[in-house]
Amino acid sequence: MTDKQILLLPGPTPVPPQVALAMARPAINHRGPEFKALWAEVTSGLKDVFQTRAEVVILTASGTGGMEAAVANLISPGEKVLVVTIGAFGERFVQICRAFNVEAEVVAFPYGQAADPEVIAERLAADTGHEIKAILVQHNETSTGVLNDIQAISRARGDHPALLIVDSISGLAAADLPMDAWHIDVVIAGSQKAFMLPPGLTMLAVGERAWQAAEKCSNQRFYLDIKKARNSGLKGQTPFTPAVPLLYGLQESLRLLKAETLAGSYARHALMRDMVRAGVRALGLKLLADEAIASPAVTAVCVPEGMKPADIINPLRERFGVVVAGGQGAVKDQVFRIGHLGYVSFNAILAGLAALEAVLADAGVPVTRGAAVAAASTILSESEAVDK
Amino acid sequence: MTDKQILLLPGPTPVPPQVALAMARPAINHRGPEFKALWAEVTSGLKDVFQTRAEVVILTASGTGGMEAAVANLISPGEKVLVVTIGAFGERFVQICRAFNVEAEVVAFPYGQAADPEVIAERLAADTGHEIKAILVQHNETSTGVLNDIQAISRARGDHPALLIVDSISGLAAADLPMDAWHIDVVIAGSQKAFMLPPGLTMLAVGERAWQAAEKCSNQRFYLDIKKARNSGLKGQTPFTPAVPLLYGLQESLRLLKAETLAGSYARHALMRDMVRAGVRALGLKLLADEAIASPAVTAVCVPEGMKPADIINPLRERFGVVVAGGQGAVKDQVFRIGHLGYVSFNAILAGLAALEAVLADAGVPVTRGAAVAAASTILSESEAVDK
């Protein structure tokens, strides 16, 4: 029965049954009136989640396709951007820039730390010729479980005309990111994170200044062309055949998020984070990210001295059906990651922590069985803000 | 109840219930052992359908993403290709080439006709310097319902080293296309056609000569990089988060195709084509494509004098819930298209023809009610090759 799994991944998240049912609806014509109505509802609902009046485009691709779309549609070959990296997905932005002949000047912070807005401010202040066309940065860095302070980074930009392009694939709807209020030009999201859907859609909210950049951009794209997507979208269509079931699922998940409210979703994710962190700490394990910058979507946990991540991940899956993720990039061999976003439940977290206690105890790590669950359930009992 | 629709589209096709159920399975870790087993089964099953020993890559994108992948991974900027166009999807290849700075020399045939292999042979014979790096051509042109003779085109290539890249998005599993036997270098497929799945996956079988071209290709790609996809695939993974439910669905649809056999699927599609064509002819309507080149997946029907496609398409949908497609490209205002691929049933075709009779009669077109259904059901009764 360990095939009845508890998924604690930083995406894909479990899928709510009503979303799965919506996805199983009969096929429709993606050039017909049923699709048009579906499209109108999901694009409107997405704008609420992005907290923007900007146009939203939806592409049939996973999140990396959205990251590529941001680069290939907005930055011309030879132009320079500032890529702020705090982990593996920041590094992916650098790779994409290189693949598209965009000059990526990297401002790197160590794995486990957040970006320092001061450093960005200084670099931009020195760029008096405005050579830097955009700042590319993660909202939530999935590989380390660190949340960047996007509001402070936006302020650090000051009067510099660089576009602020934010990868919030694992952040949106898990942590507040008011696009318009914070003057963000592009926000990239993905279906399989706090939207509680399977993978296969990436959504981009693209502000007016970014659309102006798109008009002038000479970089190469066809399938991921956001202007084509916008123009078709305004007619209730997509330029290429879309993943219709995922759009039905998105309609349903947007209704769920609306009923919960964004504030409710943020509070729920923060509570799951606090439960996981308290539980892990009660077992004496170290957390990669400090409290102040800890992600509400995923927590990277340092493996005890002398152990490898697989020593924990494999028995969790094989003996308890609890599925957590390995490390990525520079901390690949040092951490495992507990995801707590999307349709993860509080009892899934308690069960996951119970399994973690057992796996560590059986491996000879000196832990008190029950300690992690006790710490997490105390946090849960004391919280009042969240509808349990 | 006209929301209970009969879909007669050239994709998306209806989805078999067992495929829809498979897609609703709980999420899994796409970096875990369950995914690896799923991946092994679907890639092996796909090779059978492609009739190849070549490596198969699966990308989370719709078919156009697969067409772009073929260009961006195999042809360098400035290189020349021969694009053989017989309709709107041939023209899409031209647009993709232009977007990726590939010189597209177009050999165009009128909408409704197939490509003449002789013309291709002559052009290649004249290319003594081997400037033409690839031939890009549709197997089944969805916009016109015409099947190209890919075997003859492959023979027309002779000793010329150009790669033969075939878009069989709407053809594969509906019409025979033995990749290895016909010396095709790349075949592109899509999920929402004869594979009976929703849209969202594109599959490419890539032969040895094409992989060699990929090694040297300097064009731009990241998300749609087939080398990355192959290298991850050999480890039972994907470079970026894949659309897992579609892969579960693909596992199921490959099992269905295996049980039916490829020959059975081809015969079923040919029979559906023959039913549709006999029915349409019995109503006195003209078919865009001649018998010898008629697609087993989709039939383009010329609208009667004085009518527009919408005069037929809209009442079919609104009064009967029968969903057919409009025209595309140069014949947009002259045809409507009846799709008969994937999980379309024989009785859906009979019902669709019955509705078509009624719509035409009510519009004052001189038709004999019952004639189309009689012609189609006679064809069905007389056929022996197909498991009904």
Size of interface A-B (CB pairs under 8 A): 172
Q: What is the pLDDT of residues B175-227, one digit of tens each?
A: 999 999 999 999 999 999 999 999 999 999 999 999 999 999 999 999 999 99
Higher pLDDT, residue A1 or B16: B16
**CB pair distance less than 8 Å for B99 and A24:** no
What tokens were used for B378?
């006679």
B241: which chain A residues are within 8 Å (Cβ-Cβ)? 11-12, 62-64, 190, 192, 199
A232–B contact, CB cutoff 8 A: no
A192–B contact, CB cutoff 8 A: yes
Cβ neighbours of residue B220 under 8 Å, at least 6 residues apart? A72, A99, A100, A101, A219, A220, B72, B100
Measure the CA–CA gap between B141 and B170, rounded to whole angstroms.
8
Distance from CA of A202 to the nearest CA of B (A): 11
Q: Give the dihedral sign, CA A233/A236/A237/A238.
A: positive
Give the pairing of strands B55-60 and B80-85.
Answer: unpaired
**CB pair distance less than 8 Å for B31 and A326:** yes
A158–B contact, CB cutoff 8 A: no
Q: What is the pLDDT of residues A303-342, one digit of tens each?
A: 999 999 999 999 999 999 999 999 999 999 999 999 999 9
Average pLDDT, chain A: 96
Instruction: With cut-offs at 50, 70 and 90, classify the pLDDT of residue B171.
Output: very high
- What pLDDT score was predicted for residue A4? 87
**CB pair distance less than 8 Å for B28 and A11:** no
pLDDT over threshold 70, residue A137? yes
pLDDT over threshold 90, residue A155? yes
Partner B, chain A 28-57, Cβ-Cβ below 8 Å: 28-32, 34
User: Residue A240: which of B27, B64, B221 has the nearest Cβ?
Assistant: B64
pLDDT over threshold 80, residue B17? yes
Whether complex ipTM tops 0.85: yes
B316–A contact, CB cutoff 8 A: no
**CB pair distance less than 8 Å for A200 and B7:** no
**CB pair distance less than 8 Å for B220 and A100:** yes
pLDDT over threshold 70, residue B386? no
**CB pair distance less than 8 Å for B100 and A32:** no
Nearest residue on chain B to A27, alpha-carbon basis: B14
- What pLDDT score was predicted for residue A345? 96
Q: What is the pLDDT of residues B257-268, one digit of tens each?
A: 999 999 999 999
Measure the CA–CA gap between B350 and A10, rounded to whole angstroms.
49
Check: CB of residue A241 under 8 Å from CB of residue A3. Answer: no
What tokens were used for B16?
């078999």
A76: which chain B residues are within 8 Å (Cβ-Cβ)? none
Rounded to an integer, the average pLDDT of A229-249 is: 97
B31: which chain A residues are within 8 Å (Cβ-Cβ)? 325-326
B325: which chain A residues are within 8 Å (Cβ-Cβ)? 29, 31
pLDDT over threshold 70, residue B2? no
What residues form DSSP beta bridges with A201? A60
Task: Spell out the domains of chain B, with CATH numbers in brackets.
Answer: 6-12+261-382 (3.90.1150.10), 17-259 (3.40.640.10)
Phi, psi of B52 (to 5 degrees): -145, 160
What residues form DSSP beta bridges with B147? B140
Task: Specify the DSSP element, H or E, that contains B116.
Answer: none
- What pLDDT score was predicted for residue A271? 97
Instruction: With cut-offs at 50, 70 and 90, classify the pLDDT of residue B324.
Output: very high
What tokens were used for A46?
């997405």
A321–B contact, CB cutoff 8 A: no
Distance from CA of B338 to the nearest CA of A (A): 12
**CB pair distance less than 8 Å for B61 and A64:** no
Rounded to an integer, the average pLDDT of A42-49 is: 98
Average pLDDT, chain B: 96
Rounded to an integer, the average pLDDT of B42-58 is: 98
Check: CB of residue B229 under 8 Å from CB of residue B61. Answer: no
